[in-house]
A and B are shown apart, each in its own frame.
Chain A
Amino acid sequence: MCRDLATEVEKLLLQPGSYVRKKAVLTAVHMIRKVPELSNIFLPPCAQLLHERHHGILLGTITLITELCERSPAALKHFRKVVPQLVQILRTLVTTGYSTEHSISGVSDPFLQVQILRLLRILGRNHEESSETMNDLLAQVATNTDTSRNAGNAVLFETVLTIMDTRSAAGLRVLAVNILGRFLLNNDKNIRYVALTSLLRMVQSDHSAVQRHRPTVVECLREPDASLSRRALELSLALVNSSNVRAMTQELQSFLESCPPDLRADCASGILLAAERFAPTKRWHIDTILRVLTTAGTHVRDDAVANLTQLIGGAQELHAYSVRRLYSALAEDISQQPLVQVAAWCIGEYGDLLLEGSCEETEPLQVKEEEVLALLEKVLQSHMSLPATRGYALTALMKLSTRLRGDNNRIRQVVSIYGSCVDVELQQRAVEYNTLFRKYDHMRAAILEKMPLVERGGTQDEEAKESKEAQLSEAALVSTEPPASKLLDLLDLLDSSSGAAQPPPPLEPSPGGTLGHLLDLPCASPAPASVPNLRVFEREGLQLNLSFVRPPETPALLLITVTAVNTSGADVTHFVCQAAVPKSFQLQLQAPSGDTVPAQGGLPVTQLLRIFNPNKAPLRLKLRLTYHHLGQSVQEIFEVNNLPAETWQ
């Protein structure tokens, strides 16, 4: 329909009746929006329409030209020629005296002035020549407009925006910033809102100029008006830099305590981000995060906990200080989940420092062992705690068993109670820890010692698990002596160059008998990467299957689970599986689930291999099996072919 009527509308644009013409102009605008190709038809009449006296038509024409310029750069160039004309029109508007016809509260036709200014802004953007023509006019408008009424303020505001967006003289820009500053101090809330919005737009380009108004912006934070405080919050967050970070964070934190709930999340994450970028000292940083967590704990982002633990872990000299602060915060209030999680982790790690008694940075705090244990138990039992929080608390309790000097009966009791907890995660942890107490007490100290500093980017729990597994396998390494000679021939077969530095020798599985299957479970990484299973060996009913997992967080790692199934009629006993890989890989063999594969598809024996492949070299794997079956001793050495490419790419 637009295409059909376009020519008609064009004719109407030139009709004598002004009433019809102004409507025709606006129709043209709508048509261009619908069908941009029609802009060519409406380009020529514009120049003529600009000579109109009637303000309604002028208004429509300016809108039409604005629309044309926004749509096509060619039109933009065309209309740059009319800048002098526009300037003239605006000048007449500003300088003519009071005319009752078009004036709104003393300003002559502010609507038209605003529209012209907006068009000048579009035409003058990035264009030196047009901007120069406008300079005087803008200065004139800025100084002559009466600002006691809203209409004048509207014009002035538009002028300021135009000055900022075009290539105006430096003096003019200073004038603009000062006008905005005056707006900010105005009592009228609308003006303040508008000023804050425009300052936000300017803060990227004219940072120092906006900084001068920082005190006023901070004052606007305290307004009861929600729109205003939201704008002030955004602007304040943009204004934080290294010199004013302490003062600003102070203000923002007091705002956080009193702000409406929908702004809380933004405020909290903003403060944390600013603290991260500009923190002057680590201690200040920890304090700030602590304070944010106490005030608005439920609104922070999920990775705040991980960041804080990593930060504390890295600041060795502050361990005692942070654990004390966290302990007192936790003692007061256990409802804020992120705070509880961090506090539980810290108490677990640095419990010994907590009990030592003296720390020069906080008041002396006498804490007894029973109090710490009681607090952790309270967290465990509280209905406000999330399952994740309880996991943290349980692990912390366990770590304290090595840190505290007293006997561990209380801890053992709690751990055994949670062995039958309904939540599967907690139950699994409790059972593992129980086993640790009962069977692997000698390893407990090694496993539960202080964690090394975790890498940024990994989640806290995953790092805890990985470091624990590393320590578990290293402990197994310590407790056995690998017979290197037998295995060296395996390695020779794989290595193309002999005599090179040996890769870490594969481990003899520990002869400690069958371990609970449960201990194998935490070793299996939960991330599913769909690589097909591989059957690698079959002899007289004994089958060996390999299944592969590539955890997405660590692409260089490959986890292989070797499963041995026996479908024959006789048991397979003394089953030992060893593996070897080329030099560039690192292999860790973990203890198998057992050394007897029962007959007729009984419970299979599983064993986990961890292969670390940093160079993404093609994977080669050699397996060696020794076992007793059907009265014979069998030894098999073979290389695994058909390894799917996804295992090492």
Chain B
Amino acid sequence: MIQAILVFNNHGKPRLVRFYQRFPEEIQQQIVRETFHLVLKRDDNICNFLEGGSLIGGSDYKLIYRHYATLYFVFCVDSSESELGILDLIQVFVETLDKCFENVCELDLIFHMDKVHYILQEVVMGGMVLETNMNEIVAQIEAQNRLEKSEVSVLGP
């Protein structure tokens, strides 16, 4: 099961934070900070798996991260998930983002936070992997967009 998904930039500013387990606010921020410090120390040719810090729930959890340009994508998972599989999942997520926003960059995550959350919700629901097929996800998002547009036109003047 996935405990948390964190996306932050090279300076530690969180761009997307999603916890699938209940933590109070300060603990959440502390987790983000700690994870950033742990991940920043890693060189680029080292393996992408880290034993988690003590906060996010003990020895069973590990951090699996990928570094893309200015962003770190970190998934905190427990032992029931395949590590290499999660690496692929991060790749799928990023490629989906790329398809939905052409040539996605950090600014897209800042200004279209809601869309990013919708996409994430299609991929991971309640800490478990829901859909891994990129085309499916993109199709759903487009259906959502169409629905939105049609509603606006009904309510508009």
Q: Which residues of A approach B to under 8 Å, CB–CB?
A: 19, 22-23, 26-27, 29-30, 55-56, 59-60, 63, 101-102, 104, 109-112, 114, 118, 150-151, 153-154, 157-158, 189-194, 224-228, 230
Contact = CB atoms under 8 A, between A and B. Distances in A.
Interface in B97-154: 125-126, 128-133, 135-136, 140
27 contacts: A23-B125, A26-B125, A26-B126, A26-B128, A29-B128, A30-B128, A59-B129, A59-B131, A63-B128, A101-B135, A102-B132, A102-B133, A104-B132, A110-B85, A111-B129, A114-B85, A118-B82, A150-B88, A154-B85, A154-B88, A157-B84, A190-B47, A190-B48, A225-B43, A227-B47, A228-B46, A228-B47
Interface in B61-80: none
A498 to B, nearest CB: 67
Contacts of A151: 84, 88
Given A110-B85, A190-B47, A230-B51, 14 more contacts: A19-B140, A23-B130, A30-B128, A63-B128, A111-B88, A111-B129, A150-B84, A154-B84, A158-B85, A189-B45, A189-B47, A190-B48, A190-B84, A224-B46
A210 to B, nearest CB: 20
B89 interface: yes
Interface of B: 43, 45-51, 82-85, 87-89, 91-92, 125-126, 128-133, 135-136, 140
Closest 7 CB pairs of A and B: A154-B84, A189-B47, A225-B46, A111-B132, A193-B47, A56-B131, A190-B47
A190 B44 CA distance: 12
A154 B130 contact: no
Contact of B47 (A19, A102, A225): A225
B80 to A, nearest CB: 8
Contacts of A192: 47
B100 to A, nearest CB: 17
A389 B87 CA distance: 52
Given A29-B128, A190-B87, A114 B82 contact: yes
Nearest to B137: A56
Give the interface centre of B47, B51, B88, B91 by most chain A CB atoms within 10 Å. Answer: B47
Q: Mostly helix, strand, loop or mixed at chain A's interface?
A: helix
Contacts of A224: 43, 46
A140 to B, nearest CB: 20
A158 B131 CA distance: 20
Contacts of A27: 126
Contacts of A111: 85, 88-89, 129, 132
Contact of A56 (B47, B91, B136): B136
A153 B48 CA distance: 15
Given A26-B126, A55-B133, A194 B84 contact: yes
Contacts of A104: 88, 91-92, 132
Contact of A101 (B87, B91, B125, B133): B133
Nearest to B121: A23
A110 B83 CA distance: 13
Contacts of B136: 56
Contacts of A112: 132
A227 B131 contact: no
Nearest to B82: A114
Nearest to A187: B45
A30 B127 CA distance: 9
A227 B49 contact: yes
Given A189-B47, A193-B47, A154 B128 contact: no
A426 B6 CA distance: 56
A109 B92 CA distance: 12
A286 to B, nearest CB: 35
Nearest to A151: B88
A458 B48 CA distance: 47
B46 to A, nearest CB: 4
B67 to A, nearest CB: 13
A110 B87 CA distance: 12
Contacts of B84: 150-151, 153-154, 157, 190-191, 194
Contacts of B91: 104
A178 B24 CA distance: 47
A153 B130 CA distance: 22
Contacts of A110: 85, 88
Contacts of A154: 82, 84-85, 87-88
B82 A59 contact: no
A93 B128 CA distance: 22
Given A26-B130, A56-B133, A150 B87 contact: yes
A104 B89 CA distance: 10
A228 B91 CA distance: 23
A142 to B, nearest CB: 15
